[in-house]
Amino acid sequence: MKYLPLNPGIFIKNRQRFVKEMIPDSLAIFVSNDEVPSNGDAIYTFKQNSDLFWLTGITQEDSMLILFPGHPDPKYREVLVVVRPNELKEKWDGTRLRSEEASRISGISTIVWLDALDAQLQVWIHLVGNIYLDSNENDRKSSLIQTREYRFIEEMKKRYPLHAYHRAAPILKQLRSVKTPMEVEVLQQAVDITASTFERLLKFIRPGVMEYEVEAEIWHSFLRQRATGPAYNSIIASGDRARTLHYVSNNQVCADGELLLMDFGAEYGGYCADLTRTVPVNGRFTKRQKQVYNACLHLHNYAKSLLKPGVIMNEYHKMVGLEATKVFLGIGLLTKSDISNQSPESPAYTRYLYHGISHHLGIDVHDLGTRTEPLRAGMVLTVEPGIYIQEEQMGIRIENNVWITRTGNKDLMSQIPITAEDIERVMKK
């Protein structure tokens, strides 16, 4: 890992929160992600299972966590399983965690080597009637690929068919959506790295620069600040390409007079930032560009003002949609006739704003969290309205990350230039 060691208290607290939700007479098992082959003898860069990382801080492949709060021997109430270091393999692939290192990262004192696990697990399983297993659930995900968790579920049910099995996912969805202050500290570091990178870009962007050159500056700035890298594929979209929400080709020239939409964020300590800014390539907004930009900024600030405990996401999106209708009428995108003739299923404003306004943020960019239950203090969400005008070949989106507090919210990106005037001022330098 490139980032500095995290406070193991983060993961100790997370495990305590999960164990508190377990029913009596139970244990829970979490497994790491697969190492996925690409072509030939190569593999894709390994990415740890988010749930396992949230509970342990361990990024190494072939790791497991066993939580057994009722074990008669306190030593085995938390067990971290890692691969035994192999001298020959380490010559090729680098060192693996020693038990002392694994304990220091996770805060777990009992470390078991993977090749010695089976005999011990057999005993533990027979001491309980209930087993929690993870299943990599996210309502945004649709995949036909069977991940390691599901293969492990099948294996466990074959070996121990008479036990009662439970989904860990509903518990994790509730817990991971509410961040502890220690987690937000790490997330703020990812935000701060993203912030300094954006200011660097404002001084770099100019007519004639290529989108991929901007992306290269992001990579350079992230890595030199100890980030793992981008939290997701950076979107660097100049001109009409900004209307493509997940544009990642990043291979065209940024032309004089165009706007450049940049959607990027650093991953630091396993936590993700998610920023979007739209800037004039030549450093000056035209009158019309500034009008649309300010309309988007108004929507951004309006949406942010609504976020507080008790708000339901689906209702929140509807409220922002109503405000967008008024704003689009004011800047000439909609007419009163468009609004009077709109259907409830397809509001007129969606012609120019065709995505959601917020999503949960954390270890995953689209983190676990509810859309149908009230928001709670501790949740972290994006606020990212956009305006996309095909007739004017223009796309604008403005995105910050906010932490829900007991009385409202705190903008974690409040230090990042956001007004048209501030952006022009920094670019002029």
Q: What share of the chain is helix, strand, coil (3-state, %, to 5)?
A: 40, 20, 40
Give 363-398 pLDDT, tens digit per residue: 999 999 988 899 999 999 999 999 999 999 999 999
- What value does the mean pLDDT of the chain take? 96
DSSP state of 4: P
Residue-range domains of the chain with CATH? 9-175 (3.40.350.10), 181-428 (3.90.230.10)
CA pair distance 98, 261, nearest whole angstrom: 45
Residue 75 tokens read as 């030593």
Query: Cα–Cα–Cα angle for 19, 21, 27, nearest 5°?
Result: 50
Residue 305: per-residue pLDDT = 98
Tokens at residue 359, please?
């999503």
Q: How far apart are CA 414 and CA 261, in angstroms?
A: 19
Q: What is the mean pLDDT of residues 265-277?
A: 98
d(CA 370, CA 173): 8
Q: Which residues contact 116 (CB under 8 A, 6 or more apart)?
A: 84
The mean-pLDDT minimum among 34-48, 189-203, 256-270, 392-406 falls in: 34-48
Cα–Cα nearest to 364, from 234, 279, 261, 274? 274
Does residue 140 have a pLDDT over 80? no
CA distances from 365 to 57, 87, 160, 233 (A): 17, 36, 36, 11
7: pLDDT confidence band, cut at 50, 70 and 90? very high
Q: Look up tokens 């027979």; give the residue.
A: 126
Q: What is the pLDDT of residue 147?
A: 87
> How buried is 390 (Cβ within 10 angstroms: 0-12 exposed, 13-18 middle, 19+ buried)?
exposed
The CA-atom distances, in angstroms, between 27 and each of 23, 67, 178 are 9, 6, 23
Region 115-123: what's the mean pLDDT? Answer: 94
| pLDDT for position 93 | 85
Measure the CA–CA gap between 131 and 168, rounded to whole angstroms.
9
Average pLDDT over residues 138-157: 85
Does the pLDDT of residue 73 top 80, yes or no?
Answer: yes
Residue 143 pLDDT > 80, yes or no?
no
275: left (phi over 0), alpha (psi -120 to 50) or beta: beta
CA dist., res. 275 & res. 48, Å (int): 23
Instruction: Give residue 286's pLDDT.
Output: 98
Going by C-alpha positions, the residue among 189, 272, 193, 262 that lies closest to residue 232 is 272
φ, ψ of residue 297 to 5 degrees: the values are -65, -35
The CA dihedral of 390, 395, 401, 404, to the nearest 10 degrees, is: -40
Residue 192 has pLDDT above 90, yes or no: yes
**Would you give the DSSP letter of residue 253?**
B
**How much is the average pLDDT of 103-120?**
96
Sign of the Cα pseudo-torsion (8, 9, 11, 15, in order): positive
pLDDT single digits (tens) 214-268: 999 999 999 999 999 999 999 999 999 999 999 999 999 999 999 999 999 999 9
Q: Which amino acid is at 375?
A: L
The torsion defined by the Cα of 291, 293, 298 and 299, in degrees rounded to 10, comes to 120
286-293 mean pLDDT: 98
pLDDT greater than 90 at residue 136: no
The predicted structure's pLDDT at residue 53: 98
CB-CB contact of 257 with 208 (8 Å): no
> Residue range 295-301: average pLDDT?
98
Give the pLDDT of residue 146.
83
**Cα–Cα distance, 361 to 379 (Å, whole number):** 8
Gap between the Cα atoms of 216 and 146, Å rounded: 34
Q: Does position 170 have pLDDT exceeding 80, yes or no?
A: yes
Distance from C-alpha of 35 to C-alpha of 111, rounded to nearest angstrom = 22
Instruction: Measure the CA–CA gap between 19 and 67, rounded to whole angstroms.
Output: 7
With H, G, I as helix, E, B as strand and everything else as coil, classify residue 380: strand
